[in-house]
Amino acid sequence: LAADIAGRPLDRSRPLWEMWVVEGLPHGKVAVVSKYHHAIVDGITGTNMMMHLCDMQPGVSYTPPADITPAEDEPSDLQLAGEALLNLPGRLGMVGMVPKTVGILGGLVQRRRESGGRGMPLPFTAPRTPFNRAITQHRAISFEQTELSDIKEIKTAFGVKVNDVVLAVVGGALRSYLELHDELPETSLMASVPVSTHDTSRHEEGTNKVSTIFARLYTEIEDPVARVLAIAEDNRGAKEEHNLIGADFLQDWGKYAPPNTFQLAARAYSSFKLADHHPVVHNLVISNVPGPNFPMYFLGVRVSSMYPFGPVFHGAGLTATVISNNGHLDFGFIACKELVPDVDKIADAVPEVITELLKAAREKA
């Protein structure tokens, strides 16, 4: 049901969010499927919004607001044209982005020389897998709940970050899945990892404040410990390079993209299935979002789990999203159904990878 909801386009005549209440589940449970467009919120904002909709204890009641602010009138075409003209001088700032970009590239090259070449992998260098094709509108999902304490125990034993362990776990699950289908590439899969810039961005407006880093998953390495250590070393270099680029670099460039031109290009890209013909930009998106570390109640009912799902893209028909929730780490996998019909096998492999790493961590301790 959640996959079916995820595959339906949002109604553009209404605000771009929905909330579905699903009753009749085993043990008297109720599921709430909330869905919103990425134009409205990013992962951090979405998680914060869900936390604000919940309470920290059951039985809380609220008085309905006395006054409701009326919605603004829809702007006319003339108003939109006038605002576009007023914003035109700002578009000229794109000229200043060119030398800034050249300077950043020079800094990255210098850093690579000094570090011996370790750092972020380059886009368009990822190997092709079954899920790196043009996508359809159909979705398949799977999810798995794990213990956050296990992840932290692994992190402490090997001196790495929680995010390094998350990437290693997803990488191990993907290795298992691709081996099962005899599709494991000889070179490492590459993930695009969103990075929140809410605390570092100079842009005050907007609820989407996110940058990205590229990360190797070292899926060609069989040993899970060697994999997590290699990922951690790469991520240290990637973080330095991300700091060189700056938190607002992508957002600065993005504001100069003409919306209509971008929309036409996106439609052409989809219609001609160009993702099947050019080198793979990255294999998938892996997003790790910090959630609440305390119990939450939604309309008085205890929230037992919170499974996140992100968007999928042409050329990257699989996304893994992870959120911490009151001592748990909840994994959500969403994929194009035609490309990954058995996405549940990826989720099933997650506990096995964690068990391997946990055993190695305790042996080391």
Position 48 scores a pLDDT of 84
Residue 25 has pLDDT above 60, yes or no: yes
Position 262 scores a pLDDT of 72
Mean pLDDT of 299-326: 93
Position 211 scores a pLDDT of 73
Residue 353 has pLDDT above 90, yes or no: yes
Question: Within a 13 Å sphere around the CA of 35, how many CA atoms are in the beta-carbon half?
Answer: 17
- Mean pLDDT over the full length of the chain: 86
Mean pLDDT of 194-206: 62
Top pLDDT among 227 and 211 is at 227
Question: What sign results for the dihedral spanned by CA atoms 281, 282, 283, 286?
Answer: negative
Closest CA to 210 of 200, 219, 223: 200
> In this structure, what DSSP letter does residue 303 have?
-
Measured in whole angstroms, the distance separating CA 38 from the mean position of its chain's CA atoms is 11
Residue 93 banded pLDDT, cuts 50, 70, 90: low
User: pTM for the complete prediction?
Assistant: 0.86
3-state DSSP assignment of residue 131: coil
Residue 205 banded pLDDT, cuts 50, 70, 90: low
Mean pLDDT of 49-58: 89
Position 174 scores a pLDDT of 98
Residue 280 has pLDDT above 90, yes or no: yes
Position 111 scores a pLDDT of 54
Residue 98 banded pLDDT, cuts 50, 70, 90: low
Look at 95-104, 217-226, 259-268, 347-356 and tell me which has the smallest mean pLDDT: 95-104
Residue 65 banded pLDDT, cuts 50, 70, 90: confident
Top pLDDT among 9 and 256 is at 9
State the Cα–Cα distance between residues 170 and 180, nearest whole angstrom: 15
Position 241 scores a pLDDT of 63
Residue 135 has pLDDT above 60, yes or no: yes
The residue to which tokens 């809410």 are assigned: 198
List, by residue number, the catalytic residues. Answer: 38
**Homologous superfamily of 2-60+119-364:** Nonribosomal peptide synthetase, condensation domain (3.30.559.30)
Above pLDDT 70, what percent of the chain? 81
Question: Residue 90: what residue type?
Answer: G
Position 69 scores a pLDDT of 85
Mean pLDDT of 1-24: 93
Residue 244 has pLDDT above 70, yes or no: no
Residue 260 has pLDDT above 80, yes or no: no
Question: Residue 49: what residue type?
Answer: M
Cβ-Cβ contacts under 8 Å for 105 (sequence gap 6 or more): none
Residue 339 banded pLDDT, cuts 50, 70, 90: very high
Position 268 scores a pLDDT of 87
Sequential DSSP letters for 284-335? EEEEEE---SS--EETTEE----------BTTB-EEEEEEEETTEEEEEEEE
State the Cα–Cα distance between residues 49 and 43, nearest whole angstrom: 10
